[in-house]
């Protein structure tokens, strides 16, 4: 059976997000095997590296 986690997008779109917030978001997404992360466009490159 496929885990529902593989269908979940983990999102952080707050205007007040920090690089630490994005790094934590990426870490959580990898830990829980989420399908994707959704971040503000200015953090896209950072999220891709993490």
Half-sphere exposure of 3 (CA within 13 A, CB side): 7
Q: Tell whether the model's pLDDT for residue 31 goes beyond 90.
A: yes
**What would the pLDDT profile of 41-50 be if each residue is shown by its tens digit?**
999 999 999 9
Q: Residue ranges per domain, the chain?
A: 4-49
What's the mean pLDDT in 29-40? Answer: 96
pTM of the model: 0.87
Q: Tell whether the model's pLDDT for residue 1 goes beyond 60.
A: no
Q: What is the pLDDT, as a whole number, of residue 3? A: 87
**What would the pLDDT profile of 8-26 be if each residue is shown by its tens digit?**
999 999 999 999 999 999 9
Dihedral sign, Cα of residue 22, residue 28, residue 30, residue 32: negative
């Amino acid at each position: 059976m496929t885990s529902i986690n593989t269908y979940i997008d983990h999102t952080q779109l707050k205007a007040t997000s920090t690089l630490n917030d994005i790094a934590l978001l990426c870490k959580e997404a990898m830990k829980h095997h989420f399908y994707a992360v959704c971040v503000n466009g200015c953090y896209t490159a950072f999220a891709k590296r993490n």
